[in-house]
Structure 1
Amino acid sequence: MNTPNRTDFRFSERLRVRWSEVDAQKVVFNAHYLSYFDTAIAGYWRALALPYEATLAALDGDLFVRKASLEYRSSARYDDLLDVGIRCRRIGNSSISFDAVAWRGATTVVAGELVYVFTDAAGQVPRPVPAALRTALERYEAGAPAVEVKVGRWAELGRDAQAIRS
């Protein structure tokens, strides 16, 4: 697995290593890195301005982890500040692949890949990634703003603005 550069990531979330995450070797216990990545994925959804639960309900779907792989490069220790980068690398027919990296300063601590499968909400059967979600992810990763603010008359913008007001 190649280590992506920080500049390859539009989104990162800063986390501090807590005492409860350190093992007898005085380093972060390996399983906690998946928790760090999960926390950063939640932040990624906020950066997209797509509340996770409401967005998936509106799409009548859900996302399930299909694959999670980690490659350890260094160790994080109690009270370290980690920057956890997340980026959408690929959108397949029903899957979405993310790269995740945790850095301590300039040092890569762990790099990983997370693959999610989009499914119908009830039966957990894979479905194609909805076009609206695909577009939102692609636009965000291309640098487009997650939200756009327009000022205008209610007669022009009211239909779209009503959802925000309610």
Structure 2
Amino acid sequence: MARSDFRFSYPKRVRYSEIDAQAVVFNARYLDYLDIAMTEYLRAAGVPDPGGAEGLAQFVIARTTIDYKASIRLEEVVDLCVRLVRAGRTSLTFAFEFHGHGKGEDLRALGETVQVHIGADRAPSPLPDDYVALFERYEGRSLRA
């Protein structure tokens, strides 16, 4: 995907605690970055409870893939980009990319994460139509598969 395909991005500065012995971001931290990006994306889209603490919409991660393209270094600022690609019956599929801040197509990592909506019994549950509509308004397009 082109950087311009992402309506949402969030700048994140790399801190010392996030790097490894080579002074680059430790691979497991990319999931932390994705978590930050997802929370901020949900806020931007207007989700009233992005952390799910009040039970408005509970999700579990079904799958996440990451392709590492180039290192991210200490003190560097990266743009964490997220886009909702598809809404299925019970799941949401998001694409994400991390780019050097303000550097256009300076791709550092990309991937996809699938989150499954669950009910009180913790079993997959159909996505509420009003929840999907919130994202369709934000993304400006239909998301149903």
Fold match by TM threshold 0.5: yes
How far residue 14 of structure 1 moved from its aligned partner, in angstroms, is 0.3
- In the alignment, which residue of structure 2 is the partner of 1:130? 128
Q: Highest CA radius of gyration, 1 or 2?
A: 1
Q: Which has the higher helix share?
A: 1
- Indicate the percent of aligned positions where both proteins have the same amino acid: 35
Letter aligned with residue 47 of structure 1: A
Cα distance change of structure 1 residues 54 and 37 upon mapping to structure 2, 3 Å threshold: closer
SS of the residue corresponding to residue 75 of structure 1 reads coil
User: 1:57: Cα distance to partner?
Assistant: 2.1
Which whole-Å CA distance do the structure 2 matches of 1:49 and 1:140 have between them?
8
| 2:137 is equivalent to residue 139 of structure 1 | yes
In 2, the alpha carbon distance for the partners of 1:54 and 1:21 equals 26
CA RMSD of aligned residues (A): 1.6
Instruction: Give the direction of change, closer, same or farther, for the CA distance of 1:95–1:54 in structure 2 (3 Å limit).
Output: closer
Q: Any residues of structure 2 matched to 1:79-158 within 5 Å, and which?
A: 79-104=75-100, 105-106=103-104, 107-120=106-119, 122-142=120-140
Distance verdict in 2 for CA 1:48–1:14, change over 3 Å? same
- For structure 2, the 5+ residue unaligned runs are none
Alpha-carbon distance between aligned partners in 2 of 1:5 and 1:128, rounded to the nearest angstrom: 31
Does the CA-based 8 Å contact 2:12-2:77 persist in structure 1? yes
TM-score by length of 1: 0.78
1:116, 1:35 → 2: CA distance? Answer: 16
